[in-house]
Structure 1
Amino acid sequence: MTEGPTQERRPRRRRPWYVELPVMIAIGLVVAVLIKSCLFQMFSIPSGSMENTLRVGDRVAVNKFATLTGWKPAPGEPVVFKDPGGWLPPAPQGGNAFTRTVHSGLGAVGLLPPGDDYLVKRVIATGGQTVDCHGSTLTVDGRTVTEPYLHPGDDSCSGIDFGPLSVPAGHVWVEGDHRSDSAGSRYHRDGPDGGAVPVADLVGPASAVVWPLNHFDWFGWTGR
């Protein structure tokens, strides 16, 4: 009994680069969207309102996964949130329409930080708590808050006394670590929510500074 002739396998033809490239780009975009939607989203720090914890130009990773697993903001936690209205001046329109469209598209899929209508502050109090600041003493529900993260030379009130104020349910009271250079909740007490930010406007907790590398810092899942 003799064996039949062996059939040689033909090498698989590789697709041309102009076919593979669009496929690779499409896969990369899908992965980026999934990461942005479910895991982390990058934000750029535009001002010194959170110094020295966060510095101008830092790239901060926001934990989006936490928002999918029942995360609730806690006092002491740095958070990123969408401008609730009137907190930021109108952003200048730099570049031409094409570059703005490209930047907006890349920001939408998470390949670039999104637009300039987001802020980062630290949660001071949550819905139902009472916040009060007089002299240099900040209290929440009558208990003095120690703030080791404050910018050197600042105190908790930085010349603006207020309260006692009750934070509405479903809101948070936020301030910057560089208290004297931050227009946080206390600057917007005449707003519709009395300076508080709706929890629905929160993107999530700031979990880490990922760039530049010499300022890398990990805040953990619940902040500091």
Structure 2
Amino acid sequence: MTTSTPQRSLGSSILGFLRDVIVIVAIAIVVSFVVKTFLIRSFFIPSASMQDTLLAPDPTTGREADRVIVNELVPDVMPISRGDIVVFRDPGGWLPASATPPLTNPIQVGAEWVMSLFGLASPDSNEHLIKRVIGLPGDTVVCCTPTGELTVNGTPLIEPYINPNTQGRASAVDFSVTIPEGALWVMGDNRNNSADSRFHPDQPGHGFVGIDDVVGRAFVISWPISRWSWLSNYPEVFQNVPKAPELPAGFESTPSVGPRP
């Protein structure tokens, strides 16, 4: 009698521990599903189109691609704003076939593994693009003023996020476009090295990105640690832009884009 009580107590403790582990794992799985499905997701930056805001990998220096965390509540729950950096699915014909760059840093490999447990890692980043929203439905975006600025609804933009190597003009290509309902006009911050809305007028979407194709808004650089920072949508750049007029029913638009330099 004196030995059975400790054994029973030990058995109960083990069963209690296992029960707690099962509950914790179950909660983690549910949280993982909810987070990945509805809240946030991780993407890497494979190209230089958003430099210097977001950095692409550089084999010559060993620099790894920036990784960003995306708020998936945008656009279904939270609206898209001008200046937002958005991740979106290829509207058709924007992306060549490419391979996902392998991870080499053991810390990053470990971080990706942990993030994958919670549904935050994104192995399909190479199937998505990332750009900055310049025009919303109904907006008219024109390049350029005599002093080289873009205008949105007639208001010139002073864009501090543009890559400093972009000299003189906000775009080397002239264009004029009114964005139809359900679409966006997006451009890379590295204007001289960005195959964005300007360069796809002959594709099925005419260079527009459907709001339905937007996965979410990038709001923080999560990797490398030295690059950790919040991503601004620069509301001061667009604060004086007037509200877009209502579009007539059935309005369709094809951008007028000048020749490449």
User: Which of the five TM-score ranges fits, normalised by the shorter chain?
Assistant: 0.7 to 0.9
Match of 1:161 among 155, 170, 174: 174
Q: Which moved more, 1:133-142 or 1:74-83?
A: 133-142
Task: Work out the CA distance in 1 between the residues paired with 2:79 and 2:98.
Answer: 30
Q: What percent of counterpart residues are identical?
A: 38
- Could you tell me whether the CA contact under 8 Å between 1:126 and 1:173 is conserved in 2? yes
Task: Work out the CA distance in 2 between the residues paired with 1:174 and 1:78.
Answer: 9
Structure 1 gaps of 5+ residues are: 1-6, 96-102
What residue in structure 2 maps to residue 110 of structure 1? 119
Report the structure, 1 or 2, having the larger strand content: 1
Structure 2 gaps of 5+ residues are: 57-64, 103-111, 235-261
1:214 is paired with a residue of what secondary structure?
Answer: helix
What residue in structure 1 maps to residue 250 of structure 2? none
Q: Which amino acid aligns with 2:70?
A: V
- Could you tell me whether the CA contact under 8 Å between 2:51 and 2:189 is conserved in 1? yes
Task: Work out the CA distance in 1 between the residues paired with 2:172 and 2:97.
Answer: 27
CA 1:94–1:209 in 2, change beyond 3 Å: closer, same or farther?
Answer: closer
Task: Work out the CA distance in 2 between the residues paired with 1:10 and 1:19.
Answer: 15
Q: Which amino acid aligns with 1:128?
A: G
Match of 2:152 among 134, 140, 161: 140
- Tell me the alpha carbon deviations over residues 55-113 of structure 1, each in whole angstroms, 9 at most, x when there is no partner: 121110111234453x2211111111111111000134899xxxxxxx9xx97972422
TM-score, normalised to structure 1, is 0.78
Match of 1:60 among 55, 63, 68: 68
Q: Which amino acid aligns with 2:181?
A: A
Match of 1:90 among 75, 89, 97: 97
- Backbone CA RMSD of aligned residues: 3.2
- Could you tell me whether the CA contact under 8 Å between 1:38 and 1:68 is conserved in 2? no
- Could you tell me whether the CA contact under 8 Å between 1:107 and 1:114 is conserved in 2? no
Task: Work out the CA distance in 1 between the residues paired with 2:129 and 2:101.
Answer: 20
Are positions 1:10 and 2:18 aligned together? Answer: no
Match of 1:214 among 214, 226, 231: 226
Task: Work out the CA distance in 1 between the residues paired with 2:151 and 2:142.
Answer: 5
- Could you tell me whether the CA contact under 8 Å between 1:80 and 1:119 is conserved in 2? yes
Task: Work out the CA distance in 2 between the residues paired with 1:108 and 1:21.
Answer: 16
What residue in structure 1 maps to residue 207 of structure 2? 195
- Could you tell me whether the CA contact under 8 Å between 2:74 and 2:215 is conserved in 1? no
TM-score, normalised to structure 2, is 0.68
Are positions 1:127 and 2:137 aligned together? Answer: yes
2:226 is paired with a residue of what secondary structure?
Answer: helix
1:200 is paired with a residue of what secondary structure?
Answer: helix
2:199 is paired with a residue of what secondary structure?
Answer: helix
- Could you tell me whether the CA contact under 8 Å between 2:222 and 2:228 is conserved in 1? yes
- Could you tell me whether the CA contact under 8 Å between 2:92 and 2:205 is conserved in 1? no
- Could you tell me whether the CA contact under 8 Å between 2:49 and 2:191 is conserved in 1? yes
Per-residue deviation at 1:34? Answer: 1.5
- Could you tell me whether the CA contact under 8 Å between 2:74 and 2:80 is conserved in 1? no
